[in-house]
Amino acid sequence: MLAILALAAGLTAPPQPRVLTLPTAIELARAAIDACVAKGEHVSAAVVDAQGVPLVVLRDDMSPKPPIAAPRKANTAVVFGEPGSVLEPRQKTDPDFAARLAADPERLNPHVGSLPLRVGTFVVGGLAVADTSHETADRCARAALAQFPQFH
Q: Quote the Cα angle for 13-151-97, to 5°.
A: 95
Yes or no: say if 47 and 28 are a contact pair by the CB < 8 Å rule. Answer: yes
Instruction: For 100-133, write each residue's pLDDT tens digit.
Output: 999 999 999 999 999 999 999 999 999 999 999 9
Number of Cβ within a 10 Å radius of residue 116: 25
Instruction: For 128-152, write each residue's pLDDT tens digit.
Output: 999 999 999 999 999 999 999 999 8
The verdict on pTM exceeding 0.85 is yes
Q: Rounded CA gap, 29 and 20, in Å? A: 12
Q: Rounded CA gap, 22 and 58, in Å? A: 13
**54-59 and 44-49: which strand pairing?**
antiparallel
Q: Rounded CA gap, 101 and 79, in Å? A: 11
pLDDT of residue 52: 97
pLDDT of residue 152: 84
Does position 6 have pLDDT exceeding 70, yes or no?
no
Instruction: For 58-107, write each residue's pLDDT tens digit.
Output: 999 999 999 999 999 999 999 999 999 999 999 999 999 999 999 999 99
pLDDT of residue 16: 52
- At the top level of CATH, the class of 17-146 is alpha beta
pLDDT of residue 19: 80
Q: Rounded CA gap, 82 and 138, in Å? A: 13
Q: Taking the domains of the chain in order of start, what are their residue ranges?
A: 17-146
